[in-house]
Structure 1
Amino acid sequence: MNPDVRGYFRFTRKDRVEKSINTLIGLLEGIGIDGKVSSGEVSMLRMWLEDHADVAAQHPFNELVPAITGAIEDGVVDSEEHADLLWLCRRLQNPEFLSLVTADLQRLHAVVGGIAADGVISVEEMRGLSDWLQEHEHLKTCWPYDEIETLTTKVLSDGRIDAAEHQMLLDFFMEFLAVLDERTIERPLVLDEARQAMSALCAVAPEVSFDGKAFCFTGASSKFRRAEFEAVVSELGGQAQQNVTASLDYLVIGAEGNPCWAFACYGRKVEKAVALRRKGVRIVLVHENDFHDALMDAR
């Protein structure tokens, strides 16, 4: 075998991928079995990363490698980071579900792009979209399903689409026409006045206050590290916490996306926040871009 492809070949077949992920799960379970992860045990994760360097850009390693790298960058893996890594590994263990989610999210992008393609969005199209969303509820918590579902529900609440709503939907949906070239959609644009009136799972233009409020961060960011996030929240009078609890006010979701990621951006913390929201807990999910807007307003 050509030595240039030998490293990648080790992980390309389904059984090899499964074995690699199972090995990582076992490693994570082993190093955390006493409830803490020592610096020596962190080195084992570094060895796993080194062993998979050749395939770091291939799925599912392109989700695992950034997550592990971020967790060990300070030389310590805390309990929340450990739980996040295990959660991600177990999600990626199920290739059938992974394939279904990835394919259906790609379909959703194309569905809303198709609706906006002629520049006119009708009530009938929105009702059809609502039916499609109900048939694909397994996509809940995977962006942009929840935001599209909220927009659809609001617009259909009175059975008609007025001029402002139509413009809002058109501006939102037209952004999805561009994803057919495999760009990652970070955040579709919506009219300012419409954004202020909307409340989605990932809230559109949310009101964010800092004094006495509790914040948690999840996902990947190209703008700041976790310690920097905690520092700026504290500087403005807020409290940064590592996990999602009923006392949390804001869960900030990182904007660093990848079109091949199904779970790494929106993982265990989002799942937990959604469950708490369904029980009536008031937790606002804030896109990182909106968080940065709030920072500028607060300074």
Structure 2
Amino acid sequence: MRELNQKELEVYTSKARADKAINSLKGILLGINLDNQVNKKEIDELKKWAKSHRSLINQNPFKEFMTIINETVSNNIPATETIEDLFWLCQKYENHNYYYNTVSADLQTLQGICHGILADGIINEKEVWDLEEWLEQNLHLNTYYPYDEIRSLMLSIVSDGIIEEEEILILKAYLNQFVNIENNEIAQQIENETADINISGHCTSEPNIDFNGKTFCVTGVLKSGNRTELEHLIYNLGGIPIKSVTKKTDYLIVGDNGNAAWAFACYGRKVEKALEMRKEGHKICLVHEFDFMDAIEDLK
């Protein structure tokens, strides 16, 4: 079978690209409007996003999106009204969106929310709490990347009820991993502000663990026992213990390192490999040792 040329490939994939863009746009709009304020920088980011997706102009409802965005600038239409109109269009289009399943669509929306929050380069407390609320309302995404990592970080930030500046910087650096800010000035500002922030992975919060025929790998120093005992326990529960992370690995159990936020930058190659594989689309669930033991207790 002959290979498709670039033009044929764009036609063939246009439905998928349009649906993904709509899901992302919906999230961007939600993120921009989390604090109930829409500023010029956020509208500018929206315009640049639309421009970068101009190849989809002939795909409904992109013509309507472009028209609304352009009219906002030329006719001084209130920015909040623009956001509401665009979001209404996204919801209208959702009824005809069938390319992606619910999980994929919601993960694309989450990526858009991260984009919308960072659109003006500022994260305020209301945006933090509203993001936490959205994550709590979408627990069906638990164990999926990057939802579980973002939620784990958010839980560590809001656990004491106080949002500190350092925590906002960490969140800004973390969300920036999943976002391509179109405004170069804002993008550079975020890079400069977060240059000294060390970003590492986070384990899944409240994981749903299925042992039957699933593969488990262990890394780090365990506080609940030794590795051999844990591997025997996994085997007795119907799981398959393995020594290294592969594409067939279902769970990576991370030994406790005393960090309440469950960051594990120090654990080396197994965690790093698992994180890279997750970014490539492989569904590997990273589970903190104590959460894993809690899951076993629940089975008993």
TM-score using structure 1 length: 0.38
TM-score using structure 2 length: 0.38
